[in-house]
Amino acid sequence: MNNIVAIVGRPNVGKSTFFNRLIQRREAIVDSVSGVTRDRNYGKSEWNGKEFSVIDTGGYIKGSDDIFEGEIRKQVELAIDEADAIIFVVDVEEGITPMDEEVAKLLRKVTKPILLAVNKVDNGKREQDALEFYNLGLGEYFTIAGMSGSGTGELLDKLVEVLPELPEATEEENPLPRFCVVGRPNAGKSSFINALIGEDRFVVTDIAGTTRDAIDTKYNRFGFEFNLVDTAGIRRKAKVKEDLEFYSVMRSVRAIEHSDVCILMIDATRGFEGQDQNIFWLAEKNRKGIVILVNKWDLVEKDTMSTRDYEAKIRKEIEPFTDVPILFVSALTKQRLLKALETAVQVYESRKQRIPTSKFNEHMLAIIEHMPPPALKGKYIKIKYCMQLPTPMPQFVFFANLPQYVKDPYKRFLENKIREKWDFSGVPIDIYIREK
């Protein structure tokens, strides 16, 4: 479990630059998802050995300066409710604006750690100008230059010092698989869970989840036993409007980080929208198993091609990671709900599978010999050995004489060959090329 840090502030103060600087520390190493750079509103960062998740609230506001202050206000309120610490970014060039004062007013009432970052301070004169930010009444501030990164170190030192200690996750003997149901508001998460549990006499216990206020239900039915993490039931705030883009992502972060398989519900009548994609990439980035359920299928006008077209459209949106189960369900008529569960269990099993090294080499080396990596600058690349790493999620390493010359398209080729032979449907895979 990670702490969540939210970056707030009005548009154009440099939140995104600062955010990118925070996550690239690890992003470069951990997140070299082949060619995937989606909206970067969420990432993981690490400082002095402490890992935390970062959310850039700015990335969710569409439009420019004429944004309604109401939107920013809603985001700040949501960040106050959901994050463990908040970094408030202001701009030394513009000084204190009325909107900064509004945000500061909200933040002054909060007991959580708030760090004030005065951005674009890249010379002595601006250090002087920064003094006016004492007037926001948030105590000491940190001067940073998001572009060059100066000052970020001191800010992060303070951040990891003030982040609350999280309870240690207790490792049970046989920890049950954890499935979380995620999706945007009104996609039918609650109905899905109620349909599963409502007529069910075998619910063992409700454990107050460590995901703060998502509920863990221990579920035992038809021979499956697992924990269902319900993000749908998380207390709704009257003041947070349902339509807020940012809302469902912020709510999903904790649940996703804390689960093995994510069941992403989308509303068939609305299609696979930007927000669904955000949640999908969040799960993919965290290397979780994924099952996509298209709910309310009973409400869609059908013709013979319907499901096939619909599915093709979703796969187009989630490229390059398209090996994901997509099921058409109805929580209302309980259509295919059991199939959905079986699929989630299957994805969980696939994610844990271990391929013996001898078998893996035998299969993959024959393919590589037939289709070696393309030569680069007249140099031939030889891969002589490969294996699965002993990690909780599927990661494979291939040892080559010139690893730096093996490019993403070839890694994708290797991944596709692995998927053709072994069932990793719904499971993200990492491929590493190392020097032997």
Question: Degrees (nearest 5) of the Cα angle 279, 307, 223?
Answer: 70
189 known member of a binding site: yes
Backbone phi and psi for residue 237, each to the nearest 5 degrees, phi listed first: -95, 130
286 known member of a binding site: no
12 known member of a binding site: yes
209 known member of a binding site: no
63 known member of a binding site: no
152 known member of a binding site: no
As to burial, measured by CB atoms within 10 angstroms (0-12 exposed, 13-18 middle, 19+ buried), residue 200 is middle
151 known member of a binding site: no
16 known member of a binding site: yes
135 known member of a binding site: no
219 known member of a binding site: no
232 known member of a binding site: yes
234 known member of a binding site: yes
35 known member of a binding site: no
241 known member of a binding site: no
377 known member of a binding site: no
Q: What are the start-end ranges of the H helices in 334-435?
A: 337-352, 357-370, 408-421
Listing DSSP states for 219-235 in one string gives EEETTEEEEEEESTTSP
42 known member of a binding site: no
297 known member of a binding site: yes
Q: CB-based contacts of 301: which residues, under 8 Å, 6+ apart?
A: none
347 known member of a binding site: no
49 known member of a binding site: no
Neighbours of 81 (CB within 10 A): 15
10 known member of a binding site: yes
H or E element at residue 6: strand 3-8
43 known member of a binding site: no
233 known member of a binding site: yes
| The two three-digit tokens of residue 236, written as one number | 């709704």
28 known member of a binding site: no
Q: What are the start-end ranges of the H helices in 40-188?
A: 69-82, 98-108, 124-129, 152-162
405 known member of a binding site: no
Report how far apart, in Å, the C-alpha atoms of 36 and of each of 82, 183, 281, 319, 378 are. Answer: 27, 21, 9, 9, 29
186 known member of a binding site: yes
- Report the distance separating Cα 184 and Cα 247, nearest Å: 8
289 known member of a binding site: no
Binding residue numbers for GTP: 9-16, 56-60, 119-122, 183-190, 230-234, 295-298
Binding residue numbers: 9-16, 56-60, 119-122, 183-190, 230-234, 295-298
